[in-house]
Amino acid sequence: MVFWLISCHAISAKFRSSQPITWMQWVGRHVTAFYVVQWLIIGNMATEIYQRERLIHCDLWAVCVITASSLIVRIWLCGK
């Protein structure tokens, strides 16, 4: 846990000067919406890909789900 805290702080500090808000800070501010969207995506896809995909594809799926969640939450928040 300490490793993740230090890593997130270092990443946030690195990008703080160049941008007013980092992606991680944005997700932190909208964590509930982000969680709900991820839950909906994973819940609907899990039955389709559960035993079909291999373990090596998990990283790719994680990146795809996080990217899709970010885009959906951003679109949803702009429409509010």
Q: What is the pLDDT of residue 19?
A: 57
Instruction: Say what the pTM is.
Output: 0.65
Among 57, 79, 68, 78, smallest CA distance to 34 is for 68
**For the chain, what percent of residues have pLDDT higher than 90?**
25
> What is the model's pLDDT at position 21?
65
Task: Report whether 18 contacts 6 (CB < 8 A).
Answer: no
pLDDT in tens, 44-80: 887 777 777 777 777 788 888 889 999 999 999 987 6
Look at residues 79, 61, 64, 76 and name the one whose alpha carbon lies nearest to residue 30.
76
